[in-house]
């Protein structure tokens, strides 16, 4: 990618997060060590062992959450809100903010030269979507009678129900709203989705198939069904012994698990010469991306090997040696086994330098935002480039000998000029981006 005729730079950013819905709010909160974790209030958690979450509390799914809009676009988005679920709404809002930040209005771009790639997890129906249809099918004893479903239940179901939860909705609606006629794709690789979306969008531009791309990702573990799924899959932080804001402790010896969250991020990618000619602000340059899967039926996921290979492939595609990386924005979920596997993967790639290379994780502040986390975290590092220093890793107080890393805990560590962004799923799908500051 780095040697391609067309260089690819980042000229716009947008976020929806537990720490606010703008890059500026996100940066200030990260540097101040603030936490977006608090009581789980999105639904009644009675009967569940989870009482805390990192909710995007400033995002209500109202038209004002999408920022300043032209009258026609505002009307269109408001009309479409009822046909997209919360995850899609957050993704669209972040992408609209990124387009606005990049100064890309319809009089600036050629619709045939701009597209979108969006990452997400699978999106799950809310139980209340089926309450009325199922209620109509109860017999005299109150039991569900399936024989009545086609005749009485199905007609009561919202005809647009399925459209709300399709994972291609963020890219589809964003493109329809803004007349983006270029390449369009959706990636559903859970936490690995963000880096893969940016990598694919950058390759599209590098190959000359578009001049601009919007790359985004959105996710939420805060959902009556998805939260139950997470309880069954993840090692979740105990919320009994510490305040909610101290629950997620990346690479700390006392860590007990991750915290469920929600959010979305988006960036505008642009061909370098186009960005330079129009005087766009350049936040970074995408040099390389890599993905890898490491698991087996008998042994399960091999997180160490997956992250190692993804990082190696990203460096290879960027044509850089490990010595060129100035900091790592880690997955850093705060799980006991996951953090050790990540530390081992970094040692595999960076050798003894892994003990001194600055490493940051935003999950102590944000929790695990699912597919949305990678891009929100990447934007944190892009802002660090702008300000010249890294943000602290919240709740990292007692270094773990099994994670011998240089975890940043203050605001006096230089961000450098080149970063590696790493993410991984519980199933062993890893992804990595290599990004350089500016576009010189």
Q: Is the pLDDT of residue 104 over 80?
A: yes
At residue 426, the pLDDT reads 93
At residue 3, the pLDDT reads 45
Cα–Cα dist 257/313, whole Å? 28
According to DSSP, the β-strands at 8-16 and 262-271 are antiparallel
Question: How remote is the C-alpha of 279 from its chain's centroid?
Answer: 28
Q: Is the pLDDT of residue 13 over 50?
A: yes
Cα–Cα dist 274/384, whole Å? 25
Average pLDDT of 253-264?
96
Lowest mean pLDDT: which of 251-265, 288-302, 349-363? 288-302
Average pLDDT of 257-274?
97
Contact present, 380 and 26 (Cβ < 8 Å): yes
Q: Is the pLDDT of residue 1 over 90?
A: no
- Number of DSSP helices (H) and strands (E) in the chain, helices first: 12, 15
According to DSSP, the β-strands at 38-39 and 52-53 are antiparallel
pLDDT band at 159 (very low <50, low <70, confident <90, very high): confident
Q: Is the pLDDT of residue 247 over 90?
A: yes
Q: Is the pLDDT of residue 2 over 70?
A: no
- Read off the pLDDT of residues 400-421 as tens digits, 9 standing for 90 and up: 999 999 999 999 999 999 999 9
Cα–Cα dist 381/424, whole Å? 18
Every domain of the chain and the residues it spans: 8-125+163-437, 131-160
- Tokens describing residue 158: 């919202």
At residue 296, the pLDDT reads 78
Composition of the chain by helix, strand, coil, percent to 5:
40, 20, 40
- Read off the pLDDT of residues 336-383 as tens digits, 9 standing for 90 and up: 999 999 999 999 999 999 999 999 999 999 999 999 999 999 999 999
Sole residue written with tokens 């850093």: 332
DSSP string, 183-251: -EEEE--GGGHHHHHHHHHHHHHHTTS-SEEEEEEEEE--STTHHHHHHHHS-BPP-SSS-GGGS--TT
Of 367, 370, 281, 435, nearest to 91 by C-alpha is 370
Contact present, 19 and 365 (Cβ < 8 Å): yes
Under CATH, which number does the domain 8-125+163-437 receive?
A: 3.40.47.10
Contact present, 285 and 438 (Cβ < 8 Å): yes
Q: Is the pLDDT of residue 218 over 60?
A: yes
At residue 241, the pLDDT reads 73
Average pLDDT of 332-336?
97
At residue 439, the pLDDT reads 60
- Read off the pLDDT of residues 233-242 as tens digits, 9 standing for 90 and up: 999 997 667 8
Beta bridge partner(s), residue 389: 414
Average pLDDT of 153-161?
90
Average pLDDT of 315-333?
98
Of 68, 97, 94, 63, nearest to 80 by C-alpha is 63
pLDDT band at 440 (very low <50, low <70, confident <90, very high): low
Lowest mean pLDDT: which of 3-12, 47-56, 130-139, 161-170? 3-12
Contact present, 115 and 216 (Cβ < 8 Å): no
At residue 161, the pLDDT reads 87
Contact present, 114 and 104 (Cβ < 8 Å): yes
Residues in contact with 378: Cβ distance below 8 Å, sequence separation at least 6, in sequence order: 194, 195, 198, 265, 267, 329, 421, 433, 435
Average pLDDT, the chain: 95
Average pLDDT of 66-74?
95
Of 214, 169, 160, nearest to 188 by C-alpha is 169
The rounded radius of gyration (Å) of the Cα atoms in the chain is 21
């Amino acid at each position: 990618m780095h040697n391609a005729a067309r260089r690819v730079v980042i000229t716009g950013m947008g976020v929806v997060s537990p720490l606010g819905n703008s890059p500026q709010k996100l940066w200030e909160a990260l540097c101040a060590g603030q936490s977006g974790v608090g009581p789980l209030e999105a639904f009644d958690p009675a009967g569940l062992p989870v009482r805390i979450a990192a909710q995007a509390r400033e995002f209500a799914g109202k038209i004002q959450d999408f920022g300043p809009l032209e009258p026609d676009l505002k009307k269109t988005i408001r009309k479409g809100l009822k046909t997209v679920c919360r995850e899609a709404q957050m993704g669209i809002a972040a992408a609209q903010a990124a387009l606005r930040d990049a100064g890309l209005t319809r009089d600036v771009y050629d619709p045939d030269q701009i597209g979108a790639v969006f990452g997400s997890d699978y999106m799950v129906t809310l139980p209340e979507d089926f309450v009325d249809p199922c209620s109509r099918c109860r017999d005299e004893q109150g039991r569900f009678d399936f024989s009545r479903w086609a005749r009485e239940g199905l007609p009561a179901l919202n005809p647009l129900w399925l459209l709300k939860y399709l994972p291609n909705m963020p890219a589809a609606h964003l493109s329809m709203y803004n007349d983006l006629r270029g390449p369009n794709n959706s990636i559903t690789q859970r936490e690995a989705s963000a880096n893969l979306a940016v990598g694919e969008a950058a390759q599209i531009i590098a190959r000359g198939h578009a001049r601009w791309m919007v790359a985004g990702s959105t996710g939420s573990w805060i959902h009556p069904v998805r939260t139950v799924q997470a309880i069954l899959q993840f090692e979740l932080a105990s919320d009994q012994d510490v305040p909610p804001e101290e629950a997620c402790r990346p690479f700390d010896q006392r860590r007990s698990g991750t915290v469920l969250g929600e959010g979305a991020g988006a960036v505008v990618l642009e061909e370098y010469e186009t960005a330079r000619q129009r005087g766009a602000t350049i936040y970074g340059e995408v040099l390389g991306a890599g993905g890898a899967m490491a698991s087996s039926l008998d042994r399960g996921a091999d997180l160490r090997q997956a992250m190692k290979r993804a990082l190696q492939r990203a460096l290879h595609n960027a044509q850089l040696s490990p010595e060129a990386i100035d900091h790592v924005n880690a997955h850093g979920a705060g799980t006991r086994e996951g953090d050790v596997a990540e530390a081992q993967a970094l040692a595999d790639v960076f050798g003894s330098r892994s003990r001194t290379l600055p490493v940051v994780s935003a999950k102590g502040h944000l929790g695990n935002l699912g597919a949305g986390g990678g891009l929100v975290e990447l934007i944190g590092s892009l802002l660090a480039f702008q300000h010249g220093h890294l943000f602290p890793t919240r709740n990292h107080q007692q270094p773990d000998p099994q994670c011998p890393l240089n975890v940043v805990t203050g605001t006096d560590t230089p961000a450098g000029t080149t970063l590696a962004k790493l993410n991984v799923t519980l199933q062993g799908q890893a992804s990595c981006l290599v990004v350089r500051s500016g576009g010189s």
